[in-house]
Amino acid sequence: MISVTAEILNLLGIAVLLIAFLLLTESYMHSLVSLVAFQSLLIGLIIGIVGWEKGVLELVILAGITVAFRAVIIPWILNRDLRNERIWRNREIRTTHHAIVVGLVLAVTAYFLYVPIYRAIGDWSGVMAFILLFLSFLVIVTRRNALAQIIGYVSEENALLYLAVMLTAMPMVLEFGILLDMIAFVLLAVILGGEKRYGPLEVEELVG
């Protein structure tokens, strides 16, 4: 019999995956920021529920850090930058028209790739986090704008923490989460610094 907690975690996981599909298809930066902030909030709730259920204080702290940094601070920084750049008011972000189809194929592929993991550990709880890893990576590779790729990176961070929390009681999971946030801030600082000098950047402008 599935517990109430497990049902809540499954519903939150489904919502997280739906947001990942929306990230693939959304064309406006403001909406991308709002979506990844909401996804981060849901991931924080998932981590907090698991931590509370298992009585692991580190996970409860990690949940608070996840919400504070990825659901509040990073979106606030991004939105402030968007408000300062008039071009973002009407500018669409280029996205692949077939991204949703590719995403569905990738999700099914990830599900079947998870089967050997299930056979090894006997636990399906990480399957949605595993699928999110693939969808978040697709967000990164299908976006050409640097800020849009930061959104994909934050989603990929969410997926990594989600997977770590669901599959294993990592003793270093709190430190791992803080490290990912530090990397995100460094990337964001570099990109925002470049945009202040050159304006909105495409990925090709950051290489070479």
HSE (side-chain half, CA atoms, 13 Å) at 184: 26
The model's pLDDT over 22-58, given as tens digits with 9 standing for 90+, comes to 998 887 888 889 999 999 999 999 999 998 988 888 8
- The answer to whether 165 and 59 are in contact (CB under 8 A) is yes
The model's pLDDT over 89-126, given as tens digits with 9 standing for 90+, comes to 555 555 556 788 889 999 999 999 999 988 888 888 88
- Domain containing 131: what range? 4-206
Can you tell me the distance from the alpha carbon of 8 to that of 10, in angstroms, rounded to the nearest whole number? 5
pLDDT value, residue 106: 92
What mean pLDDT do residues 68-73 have? 91
The model's pLDDT over 126-166, given as tens digits with 9 standing for 90+, comes to 899 999 999 999 988 888 777 788 888 899 889 988 988 88
pLDDT value, residue 104: 92
pTM of structure: 0.84
